[in-house]
């Protein structure tokens, strides 16, 4: 099954797969430098197809099959991509499933189009990581390199070393979600592994404490890492999505 493509108002070309008819549409928002062919995205797509649930997965610009390079991008660009995708390709209520950086993207969508969000599931959500993880963790030499050279290279346990640009840091500051009120007036389920070395459990607790929500739950899975992709973790994600849909439908 080949990807389809959407040209966004900003002139970027976004690759996507859309299936199913029954609402709400479940939208998978992937992590930094991951793509829509990941284990979690494909698992949820198979689950959605089996029940006829409307489902959308896509690649941000600079990711996967979409246009652009990763180094050109930033949180705000990828938010524009996500907003363009759900605006052009879906109608009616949305259930957002955001993994890692996709958790931040899901929160940005919830802030931008709250009237369309029926529920939210986050997997090791990493809101504000450009500031709280990157910038806060940089040495003075790295901070100076960002200001003068315009970029630094970071090693990663999960991928090749990658470039963090000054634009990513500066744009990240314009899109922070933990520094201002964050209203989430719909069911929210957050899952987090205790052995996650990319996003600490403190981040999950901070988001839980910060969000203004009547129905929000955080589930820690002992021993799970950042990938959160073994059979038990995938089943838990599925259960969270179903619970969010069921809560909305029973209201």
The Cα 107–Cα 105 span in angstroms is: 5
- Answer whether 110's CB lies under 8 Å from 121's CB: no
What sign does the CA torsion over 99, 153, 224, 45 have?
positive
Reply yes or no on whether 77 is catalytic.
Answer: no
**Calpha distance 118→114 (Å, rounded):** 9
Q: Is 230 a catalytic residue?
A: no
DSSP track, 213-224: -SSEEEEEETT-
Q: Which residues pair with 94 in a beta bridge?
A: 25, 117
Please tell me which residue in 59, 171, 196, 225 is annotated as part of the active site.
196
**196 flagged as catalytic:** yes
Q: CB 76: neighbour CB atoms within 10 A?
A: 16
Six-digit token string for 85: 């995708």
Q: Which of 86, 76, 94, 89 is nearest to 10 (CA)?
A: 76
Q: Which of 100, 128, 171, 225 is catalytic?
A: 100
H or E stretch at 110: helix 101-112
Q: CA-CA distances (angstroms) from residue 35 to 63, 197, 199? A: 6, 20, 19
CA dihedral (162, 129, 127, 70) in degrees, to 10, reads -20
SS3 134: helix
Point out the residues that are catalytic: 100, 196, 226
């Amino acid at each position: 099954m080949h990807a389809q493509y959407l040209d966004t108002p900003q002139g970027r070309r976004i690759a996507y797969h859309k299936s199913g008819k029954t609402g709400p549409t479940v939208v998978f928002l992937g992590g930094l430098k991951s793509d829509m062919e990941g284990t979690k995205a494909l698992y949820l797509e198979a689950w959605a197809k089996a029940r006829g649930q409307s489902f959308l997965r896509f690649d941000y610009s600079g990711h996967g099959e979409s246009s652009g390079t990763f180094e050109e991008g930033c949180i705000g660009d990828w938010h524009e991509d996500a907003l363009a995708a759900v605006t052009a390709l879906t109608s009616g209520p949305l259930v957002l499933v955001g993994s890692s950086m996709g958790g931040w993207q899901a929160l940005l969508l919830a802030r931008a189009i709250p009237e369309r969000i029926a529920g939210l599931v986050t997997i090791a959500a990493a809101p504000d990581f450009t500031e709280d993880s990157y910038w806060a963790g940089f040495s003075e030499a790295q901070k100076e390199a960002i200001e003068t050279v315009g970029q630094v290279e970071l090693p990663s346990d999960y991928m090749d070393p990658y470039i963090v640009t000054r634009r990513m840091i500066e744009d990240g500051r314009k899109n922070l979600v933990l520094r201002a009120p964050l209203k989430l007036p719909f069911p929210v389920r957050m899952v987090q592994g205790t052995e996650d070395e990319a996003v600490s459990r403190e981040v999950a607790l901070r988001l839980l404490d910060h969000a203004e929500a009547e129905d929000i739950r955080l589930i820690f899975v002992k021993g799970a890492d950042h990938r959160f992709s073994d059979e038990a973790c995938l089943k838990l994600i599925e259960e969270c999505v179903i619970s969010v849909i069921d809560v909305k439908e029973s209201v």
